[in-house]
Amino acid sequence: MRVLSGIQPSGKLHLGNYFGAMQQYLELQSKGNDCYYFIANYHALTTVNDRKTLEDYTREIAIGYLAVGIDPTKSVFFRHSDVPEVCELAWIFSCITPMGLLERCVSYKDKVAQGISANHGLFAYPVLQAADIIIYQSNLVPVGQDQKQHLEVTRDIAIKFNNIFGEDLLVVPEPYIISDVAVVPGLDGQKMSKSYDNTIELFTPKNQTKKKIMRIETDSTPMEDPKDPDTCRVFALIKLLATKEEQNNWRDRYTQGGMGYGDVKKRLVELVNELLDPFRDKFAELEKDPDTVEDILREGGKKARTTAQETMEIVRKATGIMTNY
């Protein structure tokens, strides 16, 4: 199966990225799928308008994914902008995509409500996303529930293209939704997100990670009284990191009383660092070797572009677009 997914370089990687997406990418890679993972720097232009910021974020995302375990010998890992054919395909798709389909997309409305500028790129985001997916004739797309609607738009566009220009020209992708992946809570209890500034980053030093965790807000229940683990932000994170046995032990300590929130926060610091320490070490190693990172992206871009060009030959021929290259 060919798997396709991307991440915007619009901020630093955090635990929400790891548990919500990166773990699944690694799992799909380990199962021998034909995985294409890209850094969506074209998409990032909808919200990032500073050249150096975009370059820095792109580099950090590249190093971060490699540090966590994306293997360029098993997956095609590349930059969005190394495959300019996606923009050509997005334009062709724009010419068959009904406005009403885009106007129904809730993601656009949500982002505008968060204060993001209402530009055309943000509105047309699902069309470029459709081009990203379809240009590699992808079968499966790992998505969270919040992105499921965009994949439905992608499927609608692929089906409409096939209906207009020829049956089965383009693969109609299927969603790969991990139903048991919990929403990762941020420091304020909302979903962990760069937009809410409530994240625990993957590659910051240990002392900064500890400071963030120790200031997670908890209720004012006295130490000697029982506490409800299911309403506690700290326990919600413990459940992502601890063994089932340890989770049950902490649940008992919550409900029996005699436990301070500081105790569970200290254990959360330990668990987070146990997970992140190998990633931090690999990140530091790769950060000192930018040429290797660039070589990986360049080779991935070449492979991805070859696949994209094959699809564009089909699309151009079907639509009557003529080129001299």
Range scoring the smallest mean pLDDT among 49-53, 69-73, 88-92, 120-124: 120-124
Angular region, 19: left φ>0, alpha ψ -120 to 50, beta rest? alpha
Condensed to tens digits (0 to 9), the pLDDT of residues 171-212 reads 999 998 765 556 789 999 888 988 788 999 999 999 999 999
Range scoring the smallest mean pLDDT among 100-109, 177-186, 211-220: 177-186
- Active-site residue 265, yes or no? no
Give me the pLDDT at residue 179, please. 58
User: In the predicted model, is pLDDT for residue 113 greater than 90?
Assistant: no
User: In the predicted model, is pLDDT for residue 262 greater than 70?
Assistant: yes
As a whole number, the mean pLDDT across the chain is 93
Which of 191, 212, 239, 282 does the annotation list as catalytic?
191
What CA dihedral angle connects 69, 73, 76 and 78, to 10 degrees? 70
Which of 222, 235, 244, 246 lies closest to 268, judged by CA? 235
Condensed to tens digits (0 to 9), the pLDDT of residues 308-320 reads 999 999 999 999 9
Output phi, psi for 252, to 5 deg: -60, -40
Range scoring the smallest mean pLDDT among 140-154, 175-189, 202-216, 284-298: 175-189
105 Cβ contact partners less than 8 Å away, ≥ 6 residues apart: 126, 149, 150, 153
Condensed to tens digits (0 to 9), the pLDDT of residues 242-261 reads 999 999 999 999 999 999 99
User: In the predicted model, is pLDDT for residue 268 greater than 90?
Assistant: yes
129, 137 in Cβ contact below 8 A? no
- Active-site residue 191, yes or no? yes
Q: Across residues 116-122, what is the average pLDDT?
A: 82
Q: Is the dihedral of CA 220, 226, 230, 232 positive or negative?
A: positive
User: In the predicted model, is pLDDT for residue 83 greater than 90?
Assistant: yes
Of residues 76 and 323, more confidently modeled: 76
User: In the predicted model, is pLDDT for residue 266 greater than 80?
Assistant: yes
Give me the pLDDT at residue 178, please. 66
Query: Any idea what DSSP says for residue 202?
Result: S
Condensed to tens digits (0 to 9), the pLDDT of residues 296-307 reads 999 999 999 999
Domains and CATH numbers, the chain: 2-183+290-319 (3.40.50.620), 203-284 (1.10.240.10)
User: In the predicted model, is pLDDT for residue 157 greater than 70?
Assistant: yes
Contacts 24+ apart (CB under 8 A), 288-291: 290/59
